[in-house]
Chain A
Amino acid sequence: MSQRTDEYLRGVPLMPYDLLREGLTALLIVALVVVALAAIFSSPDYPPVRSEDVARLQPVAYLKTSASFLAGTSGIDGYGPPYTNDTANAQSVFGLAPASWLGVRIPLDPAQDFVLKPLGHAAALDPALNDALSSYTDASSDQQAAWVKAYLAALDTAQVQNGEVKLGSGDYGPVAVMMDGMLRLGRGGLLEGALESDAHLPYSLDFTRSLLFFQDDVDANVASSLDMTGDQWGVSHETGGYPGAWWLWPYTFLYQVPFIAVSDNADLLIGLIMLVIFLLLVFTPFIPFWRRVPRWLRAYRLIWRDWYRDHGEGRPEAQPGGSSPGSRDSPGG
């Protein structure tokens, strides 16, 4: 052994040991266990929510989501950094708002990015849609808002007949034609492609807009039906009852604490608490009282029970010659 180890283990009986045998045995057992678990239980692979499915199965929800971007009521409107400039909405604790420090790094204009630009691509194939888009963009913002408001109100009482959304009469201007265009984009399976069309096509690997599009009501409803929302301890499990990141239960637990859960700054507050807990873990050896906890718990007496039974509580005398193999070569020797 090295000089360092010799010095440390002087007087301690040794036993035969085979590091490689132990490692290979553990690897074999773990491999057998995970292969057996995979063979018996498989793994979760629930298909993603696609615009095509939402447009076909929940056309009203699809249209409400689309119109919310024009109305300025989507989850992205007013989100703040890194998407928009509304720093007032950035989460803050004790006046600190880390989200604002680096500003808008992923700029998003909800109306443009989620509706008008995708429709602009579709308009190349549809003159009526092109005319509707022109009418909308040429109108005053007040007029636009009035059309969208009337359209959203009509959706609340809309009827779906043979997959067609029937609206009551009202002044929707060109918005009805535009939203019909959005619905056809979705049903054609083209929405995701149209949303990401400003990226580095055909090599885009950034699906920010596609994933944000349904993040509000549609995704939340699917998650709720699958017991995956935050108040359902969503992080701890995956779909189908499979285990998820259960090791993050302290993180998930904090979202169940009433005064934190209702806070507008819950994400930042919980993130900071987890950061403190992690630092406490990392620097355990240096933190007074906290590093004494194992001595108070005395669980080590169970872990080393054989040693305490055979060698008692006292400090053994150092044996001449250090940790020679002859001092003790077998567990029972």
Chain B
Amino acid sequence: MNLTRRAQSVLRRNFTLEDLLPTRMPVYVQSVVYLFGVSALSAFGMLVLTGVVMSLFGPEWYHGSAAGRFVNSVHFWSVQIFFGAIVLHLTSKFLMAAWRDGRWKTWLVGALTFGLAVFTGLTGFLSQTNWDSQWISVQAKDAMNALGVGAFFNTLNLGQVLTLHVVVLPLSVAALIGIHLVLIRREGPVKPIETLGGADEPADR
């Protein structure tokens, strides 16, 4: 078996440039709800950008200088916009039953992304190195310890929390977002309920 030829075949069947970078959309893609996903993606971009700047200059800078505090504030508000957009995105996709017509993988990856983003957000709150992180860390440890997670994730260990927050978790979230986007572009937007048919069974195609 020629793996390269097989890969070509799979890509040809599933992706074209028009799928990945579409210039046409079904006319039913006309609602503000279709902007929630791209808003969350944009906020994630701002989080990465400001996060990289904060990593370059360090905690003393973003606590102690006006420029650092401003970038820290942009990071903070990007988190709020990110979760606002992702909650709206998730809610609207639920109301549209967007997992129909074989799109259950897109839904599943999206839900996992949300869960991982919540955990990433927690490590962000724990990494603030101020009163909020101090209080949240002693509170969150009880939940982690009760679940047995505390045996390998210590909310009070800044080294562990910070490296998870700035490396492991953002890369993991970015990877899941990438898979989510590829699935979305591969499948195209799901049809409206009832008028065009489309069963709600996850494995109907």
Question: A38 on the interface (CB 8 Å rule)?
Answer: yes
Given contacts A16-B23, A99-B146, A206-B158, contact A331 B30 (CB under 8 A): yes
In chain A between 35 and 94, which residues have their CB closer than 8 angstroms to a CB of chain B?
Answer: 35, 37-39, 41-49, 79, 81-82, 90-91
Question: Complex formed: what's the CA distance from A297 to B49 in Å?
Answer: 39
B77 touches A81 (CB 8 A): no
Question: Complex formed: what's the CA distance from A208 to B129 in Å?
Answer: 13
B131 touches A46 (CB 8 A): yes
Mask of A277-308 contacts with B, CB within 8 angstroms, 1/0: 01001111110000111110101100110111
B27 touches A42 (CB 8 A): no
B148 touches A43 (CB 8 A): no
- Number of residues from A at the complex interface, CB < 8 A: 113
Contact with B194, one of A20, A292, A313, A325 (Cβ below 8 angstroms): A313
In chain A between 1 and 58, which residues have their CB closer than 8 angstroms to a CB of chain B?
Answer: 1-5, 8-9, 11-20, 22-23, 26-27, 29-31, 33-35, 37-39, 41-49
Mask of B94-133 contacts with A, CB within 8 angstroms, 1/0: 1111010100100110011011001001100100111111
Question: A211 on the interface (CB 8 Å rule)?
Answer: yes
Question: Complex formed: what's the CA distance from A20 to B160 in Å?
Answer: 37
Question: A197 on the interface (CB 8 Å rule)?
Answer: no
Interface centre among A35, A91, A284 (most CB of B within 10 A): A284
Min CB gap A209→B, angstroms: 8
Question: B18 on the interface (CB 8 Å rule)?
Answer: yes
Min CB gap A221→B, angstroms: 11
In chain A between 192 and 222, which residues have their CB closer than 8 angstroms to a CB of chain B?
Answer: 205-208, 211-212, 215, 219, 222
Size category, B interface: 35 or more
Contact with A245, one of B14, B122, B142 (Cβ below 8 angstroms): B122
Question: A316 on the interface (CB 8 Å rule)?
Answer: yes
Question: A259 on the interface (CB 8 Å rule)?
Answer: no
Nearest-CB residue, chain A, relative to B107: A285
Residues of A within 8 A of B99 (CB): 284-285, 291
Interface centre among B14, B25, B33 (most CB of A within 10 A): B25
Question: Complex formed: what's the CA distance from A13 to B30 in Å?
Answer: 12
